[in-house]
Amino acid sequence: MTLTITPSRLAGAVTPPPSKSQAHRLLIAAALGSGESVVRGVSHSQDMEATLGCLEELGAEFTRRGDAVIVQGLGANAACPLRRMAYPRLDCGESGSTLRFLIPLALALRGGGTFTGRGRLMERPQRPYFDLFEEKGISYGQRDGLLTVQGRLTPGEYRLPGNVSSQFITGLLYALPLLEGDSYIIPTTPVESWDYILMTMEALFAAGVAAEEPREGCPYFYVHGGQSYSAGDFTVESDWSQAGFWYAAMYLDNPVEIQGLNPHSVQGDKVIADHFARLGREGDGDVDVSGCPDLVPPLAVMSALRPGKETRLVNAARLRLKESDRLASVTAVLAALGADVAEGEDFLVVRGREALPGGVTVDSYNDHRIAMMAAIAATRCQRPITLTGAEAVNKSYPSFWEEYVRLGGKIQEERA
């Protein structure tokens, strides 16, 4: 889908969609439980559909009622591995969370499985898991866009780096309670994106599963074996990650009021509120995004329109492994619009300007956050912009363009 976006002011109240990160976690916990659960506030985004489809293949059942999902859990426990002869084939779409969360679960529940996906998903690194599999005697193979794993998870020690992605730790936190004995997850490097792990721990606790996080004198996660997940009634919060784009709109002098966010949430991306305030008052400086990489597109837009001030978004190497190489795609799109931005190996340098010329065609790079970044930037362009691949927002925020127009945005779809 190609859209022409005419510069206009956005104004009004907006509620961000449900948190994709929290919904993944609550749906998985409910699917592993015994009996019926309800997960309220689940969006119809492509990532959510990927997780639901994979969990159905593993044995759970789902019924949609508006934004609520009624879950008939599969009753996972230590006695259920290899209960079916056929290995599941799990299509994860473009969802890195779905893939990394479910690899250990497929091993724990079914003794393995075959995973596939679209876009750049199957190119994203899985080395922390592969190193563990080699140590534990689990076979794996990756070829022609398919990843196949086969074997049994066993209780014990699981060592893996904490600075690649917290998703690997989360995947193990879901699977290890289902083993017959206790296990330990030992980070070999400092853990980044710690708040995402807190979201996982919160979901486990809500489903009656015990796991202990590292603390002083105990540098590992301790996971009790032989546990079962409990059914429950869960509600997904609004997404602070998506709120980042509306914060960027406010920063660009659009009087938008953001509603429905939980200020006490464990979502790490609620730090966008602090960054919004900081960029509004300080001069040159660094913003460490190691714990909030998904906020880089809206932060880059804000930085591009801080006249006379330089902002460095640092510790951002993991952005190269997202739906697009986001350091490159953020740079390409903002530079085309007229921003002064340059990329380094793991950082962006942005020198603020009064406005952006626009008047060009830019691509979404099949990346939902790049498409939304371009839309917000367009509100401060001097001429209309054309955005190709605008349907990328369906991955996480299918109603984004509807909300954009409702707030006063002017878009026109180009038809073939």
Per the structure block, which two tokens stand in for 270?
């609620």
C-alpha dihedral sign at 230, 235, 237, 241: positive
> Which of 195, 269, 294, 363 is an active site residue?
294
Q: Where are the alpha helices (DSSP H) in 163-288?
A: 166-175, 194-206, 240-251, 272-281
Which residue in this structure is represented by tokens 């659960």? Answer: 37
Q: What are the φ and ψ backbone dihedral angles of 50, each rounded to 5 degrees?
A: -65, -45
CA distance 335 to 221: 43
Indicate the pairing of strand 183-187 with strand 157-160.
Answer: parallel
DSSP 307: T
Q: Which residue has the tokens 């073939």?
A: 416
- Residue 143 CB partners (closer than 8 Å, separation 6+): none
Task: State the residue for tokens 């099949």.
Answer: 366
Cβ-based neighbours of 216, under 8 Å, separated by 6 or more = none
CA distance 401 to 394: 10
383: which 2 tokens? 């001429």
Q: Rounded to an integer, what distance in angstroms lies between the CA atom of residue 42 and that of residue 21?
A: 11
DSSP conformational letter for 330: H
Strand partners, 70: 38, 63
Residue 294 bears catalytic tag: yes
Q: Beta partners for 187? A: 160
Q: Tell me if 128 sits within 8 A of 160, measured CB to CB.
A: yes
Residue type, 138: I
Cβ–Cβ contacts within 10 Å for residue 259, how many? 12
Q: Given the DSSP bridges, would you call strands 61-65 and 68-72 parallel, antiparallel or unpaired?
A: antiparallel
Count of residues making up the chain:
416
Q: Which residues participate in catalysis according to the annotation?
A: 294
